[in-house]
Structure 1
Amino acid sequence: MSLVSFDNGTFPLADVQDNPARYVKRLERAKVSPGYAVCLCASHRTPLQLVIRRYGSLLHLAGWPEDGHRHKRDSCPFYKDPDAPRAARGGDSKAAIMATPTGLNVKLDAALTLRETATGSRGSTGQPTGRTSRRSASLLAFLQTLWSESALNQWTGTATARHWGQCNAMLLAEVGTALINGSDAQNVLHIMRRYEEADRAAINAEFDVFIARLAISPNGATHRGLVIGEINEVVPTQFGHALSLRQSARKYYASATLIDRASRTFAHAWKAIGVRTARVVAILLVERTAKGHMKLIDLAAMLCSSAFLPCDSMYEVGMANRLVAERRDFLKPVRLSPDDDMLPDFVLRDTDVPTHIEVYGMNGLASYEARKDRKRALRLSRRIPAVEWNADCEPLEAVSLPASRNRSLLT
């Protein structure tokens, strides 16, 4: 169990992450003096300082910049693998998502502010054009990057479960100082807190403050917001559909056209809504109507395993759930660069040499088979061992995985 120290006390990190409201006053004092908290996962001559970061009405702990590699790899959520793929750092000034010394800088292809034009229509504001214009990222690309930057696509094998409270804390630790379309993240992005009945009033009040920003300003501009949470259900209504998240009973109202497009664009995720062994995380682009309802303008849905590891199919969900249950140390690569010519489905990190796992579910399709052959040739040339699962004709339990070198530590 990881422990953290601040305000002359020592506390379980899990409790600080799960119940941030309990620690607001202590963290406020520590933020003033000495200005940081300390992670006790490992002993170093220089203490493992943690950033105390405000997001909304609460304070959260985040890893010290460029210090993640010093945390204990097998037990501390602040550990960051220096070799793991990350968002663009320097060099590409036109990248849609850039990691800067002060946090992520994101340009989305979705407008967060609209203004009335002379003709009465609404257009986006403040988006640069011309040769110096940056590329823009889709909602899904942004969500996937957040997951990767927060190390939520990694598993160290020391636990067999991860709940939304941990996801919330890890996301906030990464996004706290981000800029999204030029605005501070906390003004335009709300990451749902894990629902606890005892904290219902505080959780709702915090969300209401965020929603209050989504209004038409005196200059006629309409402000939109982003919400991240786990989809609970999508049900038909008289005028379209209503979507709800597991962390709140609030409804988000969407047109039938939007829901139909989402169900096709994010087909694997959409079919998994309500499936017990999977999770479906969504990022919602919302507006507040004149009557105070939440209107869903756009969304992206990401399929995840039961421990919130991103997956591309239900077959991958099954493999990820097995790896977690067997306490394996592994990575689920997320494509952050078009130059990645390999991108295995999973990478086992607890074998003597990192081992790729490929989950094949579309065998027989010509283009799919050609891609399999290219990846096999690349692995052979680079001497990368691999496990292949033909999921459409072989049961998961029949797949033989290489032994973990950590097995003796877990028994």
Structure 2
Amino acid sequence: MSSNPDLLTPTLSFSWPRIAAIFYGASNMFNVSFDGGTFPLSDVQENPARYVRRLERAKVTPGYATCECVARATPLQLVIRRYGSLLHLAGWPDDGHRHDRNCAFFKDPNASPVTSGGDSTAAIIATPTGLNVKLDAALTLRETATGSGGSSTQTSPRQSRRSASLLAFLQTLWAEPALNQWTGTATWRHWGHCNGQLLAEVGTALINGAQAQTVLHIIRRFDEADRAAINAELDAFVARLATEKGPTRRGLIVGELSDVAPTQYGHALSLRQSARKYYASTSLIEHASRAHAHAWRALGERSARVVALLLVERTPKGHLKVVDLAAMLCSQAFIPCDSIHEVAMANRLIAEHRDFAKPIRMSDTDDMLPDFILRDTRPETHIEVYGMNGVDTYEARKRQKQALRAARRIPAVEWNVDRESLEAVSLPPPAGR
């Protein structure tokens, strides 16, 4: 096979049905119980509308659901949390480490990328009641705003807290419920799984001082039977952005970006989960294509997905204008990636049922951030995907990381994308196999 990086997409020549079969074949099903019944967690996450009445009753009595991932005399309790018109399950506070490692509610207390409440100046802070986020974009404009992010002129001069970009916030949304990780035994992850886990984490969050559900809408997985309800939920969210009187209100919408098409006045964006169009200026699209180049180039690739966080305003005619956006490149199973070559590697690791994580940098404290970490080897193995060979600064950083790994005796797998095919890369076998 050619080592030309432009031809790397077909390296894993799996058809979509075959990939789906591989992932579903690794199924490790867990159940949850509430309202006198036991149900597959995956179905509760993917089809929340089916369980609204049962969850409403359980939220009253006994006030919680339970997770059956680990056999216990007293099952682990789950929070029943309302977000918009639906209810979702979330892990009980400080209980995540007690769940099975393959359970969606498992949380490693040492793995969160978010700053704890000790640093009051951090842009994203984890508090006992949920995330507290300060974005570098204003969600309410009382006067004129500056910059594409729309910083409000109302900002207090005493404000010393740092702010997060839309991309940093989107990455945090993904990392907090461990959507940047794969255990090797989970079922195929699609948007329904992501939506359920995202809402479980963000349900009690504050974003620029506002309750998350008033400013953030995460579109749920499209189902023809629920088309009307899905559209009604989005319409209700958009209606709150009306600005006929008072300040301009903006909203944040998360979905899978499927298309960007030119129009008479700019561009129209489409999200896979709904038919609504989002309108953006040509200058914003040009900026986004540069700022999120890897994600933008992957639009239309069957091997990849692109998740978008849109900052929108409602026009007088009821259209949604995109003020700013972030685009995050992902593998087919929504593992975040930094390049199309990383997408190919992530897809291979998932197809081979490997246990791995994609580290996400949230600060400058990590001096050696690998592209992936294989967690099923002893010791763990770093994976590096080298796609910019020959660039002086890139080569210098590569040598620095190689020296650090050698000093710390960390094994590594290195894929030079312009010198060998992905099929030729040898991965160490999982421990115990």
TM-score, length-scaled by structure 1 = 0.95
Query: Cα deviations across residues 36-86 of structure 1 (Å, max 9, x unaligned)?
Result: 100000023542110100000000000111111111113x11111233242
Corresponding letter in the other structure for 1:348 = L
The offset of 1:363, in angstroms, is 1.0
The alpha-carbon distance between structure 1 residues 383 and 404, as it changes in their structure 2 partners (threshold 3 A), is: same
SS at match of 2:173: helix
1:302 lines up with 2:347 in the alignment: no
The partner residue of 2:314 within 288, 293, 297 is 288
State the alpha-carbon separation in 2 of the partners of residues 381 and 231 from structure 1.
42
Residue in structure 2 matched with residue 182 of structure 1 by the alignment: 209
Give me the identity figure in percent. Answer: 73
SS at match of 1:157: coil
Residue in structure 1 matched with residue 137 of structure 2 by the alignment: 110
Q: How many residues align?
A: 400
The offset of 1:279, in angstroms, is 0.2
The partner residue of 2:232 within 199, 205, 208 is 205
**Contact 2:266 2:279 (8 Å CA) reproduced:** yes
Aligned-residue CA RMSD (Å):
1.3
1:25 lines up with 2:17 in the alignment: no
Query: Cα deviations across residues 321-371 of structure 1 (Å, max 9, x unaligned)?
Result: 000000000000000111111110000011121110011011111111110
SS at match of 1:224: strand
Higher relative contact order (CA 8 A, sep 6+): 2
The alpha-carbon distance between structure 1 residues 178 and 167, as it changes in their structure 2 partners (threshold 3 A), is: same
The partner residue of 2:189 within 140, 162, 184 is 162
Residue in structure 1 matched with residue 427 of structure 2 by the alignment: 401
The offset of 1:124, in angstroms, is 2.2
Query: Cα deviations across residues 132-189 of structure 1 (Å, max 9, x unaligned)?
Result: 4210000000000110001100000014621000000010010000000000000000
Residue in structure 2 matched with residue 77 of structure 1 by the alignment: 104
SS at match of 1:11: strand
Corresponding letter in the other structure for 1:283 = L
1:10 lines up with 2:20 in the alignment: no
State the alpha-carbon separation in 2 of the partners of residues 123 and 234 from structure 1.
26
The alpha-carbon distance between structure 1 residues 406 and 61, as it changes in their structure 2 partners (threshold 3 A), is: farther
The alpha-carbon distance between structure 1 residues 366 and 162, as it changes in their structure 2 partners (threshold 3 A), is: same
1:141 lines up with 2:171 in the alignment: no
Corresponding letter in the other structure for 1:241 = H
The partner residue of 2:178 within 151, 154, 175 is 151
Residue in structure 2 matched with residue 65 of structure 1 by the alignment: 93
SS at match of 2:253: strand
SS at match of 2:43: helix
**Contact 1:113 1:125 (8 Å CA) reproduced:** no
Corresponding letter in the other structure for 2:96 = G
State the alpha-carbon separation in 2 of the partners of residues 318 and 189 from structure 1.
31
Residue in structure 1 matched with residue 78 of structure 2 by the alignment: 50
Residue in structure 2 matched with residue 369 of structure 1 by the alignment: 395
State the alpha-carbon separation in 1 of the partners of residues 34 and 113 from structure 2.
30
**Contact 2:143 2:153 (8 Å CA) reproduced:** no
SS at match of 1:260: helix
The offset of 1:259, in angstroms, is 0.3
Q: Which deviates more from structure 2 when the two are superposed, residues 162-171 or residues 208-217?
A: 208-217
Q: Which deviates more from structure 2 when the two are superposed, residues 152-161 or residues 182-191?
A: 152-161
The partner residue of 2:64 within 36, 47, 50 is 36
Residue in structure 1 matched with residue 24 of structure 2 by the alignment: none
Query: Cα deviations across residues 266-323 of structure 1 (Å, max 9, x unaligned)?
Result: 0000000110000000000001100001111000000000000000000100000000
**Contact 1:116 1:123 (8 Å CA) reproduced:** no
Corresponding letter in the other structure for 2:62 = P
SS at match of 2:116: coil
Runs of at least 4 residues off by over 6 Å: none
**Contact 1:85 1:336 (8 Å CA) reproduced:** no
Structure 1: runs of 5+ lacking an equivalent: none
The alpha-carbon distance between structure 1 residues 67 and 125, as it changes in their structure 2 partners (threshold 3 A), is: farther
Residue in structure 2 matched with residue 391 of structure 1 by the alignment: 417
Q: Which deviates more from structure 2 when the two are superposed, residues 383-392 or residues 278-287?
A: 383-392
Within 5 Å, which residues of 2 pair with 1:336-375? 336-375=362-401
The offset of 1:224, in angstroms, is 0.4
Corresponding letter in the other structure for 1:334 = I
Corresponding letter in the other structure for 2:396 = A
TM-score, length-scaled by structure 2 = 0.90
Corresponding letter in the other structure for 1:366 = D
Residue in structure 2 matched with residue 240 of structure 1 by the alignment: 266
The alpha-carbon distance between structure 1 residues 123 and 334, as it changes in their structure 2 partners (threshold 3 A), is: closer
Query: Cα deviations across residues 117-138 of structure 1 (Å, max 9, x unaligned)?
Result: 6xxxx972653332x4210000
Residue in structure 2 matched with residue 129 of structure 1 by the alignment: 157
